[in-house]
Amino acid sequence: MRILQFTTYLFLTLSSYAQGKLTNPILPGFYPDPSIVKVEGDYYLINSSFSYFPGIPIFHSKDLNTWKQVGNAIDRPSQMDFMSERLTRGLFAPSINYNKGIYYITCTDIDNTGNFVITATDPAGPWSDPVTIPEVRGIDPSLFFDDDKAYIIYNSEAPDNKPQYDGHRTVRMYAFDVKTLKVKGSEIQLVNGGVDISKKPVWIEGPHIYKRNGYYYLLAAEGGTSVNHTQVAFRSDKATGPYVPYDKNPILTQKGLDPNRKHPVTSTGHADLVEGPDGQTYAVFLGVRPYEGDYYNTGRETFIAPVSWASNWPVINPDFKEVQYAYDVNFPTTNAGAVPQNGNFKVKHDLTSKKDLSLLFLRTHPGSWYQPGGNGLTLALTPETVMGSANPAFVGRRQQHLVCETSTTIAFQAKSVAEKAGLVILQDEQHFYFLGSSVNQTGRQVVQLFKADTKQAGMKLVEEVELPTATAKLSLKIAANNDQYRFFYALKDAEWKQLGETMDGKFLSTKVAGGFLGALFGLYATSSGQASTNKVLFSALEYSGNDLIYK
């Protein structure tokens, strides 16, 4: 149930809490469209995952700052896969709710299943197979529980499917049966267009309903998920409306701020509210950190900010115009005992097991090409490539900082020019750089740097160096500094040599590539359309991020 209530007891005991700090983004990198739920003293947060697999990561926290991934809601191909889909399609804007011992996730599989609901008794899983909701036409469904009643709310088409302008949408709801997981009764339209349809507002989406002090609040994003993104609020004395917009909307936006400000956060919206450990309200929402204009490679990330209630209306980030990189709070926060998720950090991934929930594959569960164990991760070369729409031998982790580096060490000897293995920085099928080991036409071992070729739907060789002698061990590293990416190789530990010139990182940005993704560093092996029995051993995958804003 999304009921936001305060108690006198909580206010009186604030002094008993040690002061803590919330560090933004709380989930850096490609973690968009956050939804959050509180169950007793536990918080669970989920994000969109599009056509990556497993889908819908699930995080747990006790303090809103320290997040540990505990599962993925879509972790079995029998639930769904995304074969033949573009990476930027798949799962859009999931929402998590809880009621009477059951967790619910509603979501949109944009090209196939449509809107669906899955359930679990433990947020770590297993989650049920999807139950489709065909009557819900649109995207971004969420549930609202009101005593013994339940509703499903979502973005939908314009009235009579006749939009007055491009981006004209509505917010609608059905009553929902939690036993059959089906809608009941007739569809109800809650919002037409947005706050003021005379101003032609676009893309009213990501709706959530909350109950507080006798009012029902409908919060939604407006303006599209880019620089014009905003969060708006409506209020009613009934769950089914009618809803009246707040006269001081938007309740959150970074639109209109100085574009030359230091360390900007932009495109904020798609918020969800939750009660914090101190009884105060907080909002999680997506935002981006551009390094120039609207250029960013880390995707849409999860941020948090406090919420105040002015005349029974919510206002997110009330004390500042700019979203802050840190907020002091009256409860303790820590990163102890969890893989760090915010601020500056280093991570060394365990490649010997399947327990790392943060690693991603393309479109479905990895096949026989994926063999963790022993001294690391062995990938069998497959004909599929990251340029296609299948399941190539690729294992990725998110780029989570503007300034960062990722390295790996491989044991590999190519048998033909088609066989390649190494490290890729991937934005999508047509925007990536690939640093790998192969052989040239004379059979000599080479290190190569490729750039995706958007015109030819392939990749073109940027730089190649022939190694003086064949080596069974080769280290590779990609270093990012805002819009500059450099590529290195080493035959001996720490003796790095740069391959080629510094490459343009804007090629990896969402602005250039389009879509909704962020960049991933990936371990990658391919035989480039040819049959192969060759394999590569990756003995390490290390990531280090050091954005200077964090102290």
In terms of phi and psi (left: phi > 0; alpha: psi -120 to 50; beta: otherwise), the region of 9 is alpha
Q: Is residue 523 within 8 Å of residue 394, measured between CB atoms?
A: yes
Nearest 10 degrees: Cα torsion 141, 146, 149, 154: -10
Q: Out of 33, 81, 275, 278, pick the active-site residue.
A: 33
Q: Is 111 an active-site residue?
A: no
Letter for the amino acid at 508?
Answer: L
Q: Is residue 234 within 8 Å of residue 199, measured between CB atoms?
A: no
Angle made by CA atoms 395, 401, 405, in degrees to the nearest 5: 60
Beta bridge partner(s), residue 447: 437, 465
In terms of phi and psi (left: phi > 0; alpha: psi -120 to 50; beta: otherwise), the region of 368 is alpha
Q: Out of 81, 85, 109, 205, pick the active-site residue.
A: 205
- Phi and psi at residue 220, to the nearest 5°: -150, 160
C-alpha 83/C-alpha 96 separation (Å) is: 25
Residues in contact with 438: Cβ distance below 8 Å, sequence separation at least 6, in sequence order:
414, 417, 419, 420, 421, 445, 446, 448
Q: Is 495 an active-site residue?
A: no
Beta bridge partner(s), residue 235: 217, 244
- Phi and psi at residue 430, to the nearest 5°: -120, 10
C-alpha 246/C-alpha 232 separation (Å) is: 8
How many Å from the N-terminal Cα to the C-terminal Cα in the chain?
38
By annotation, the residues acting in catalysis are: 33, 205
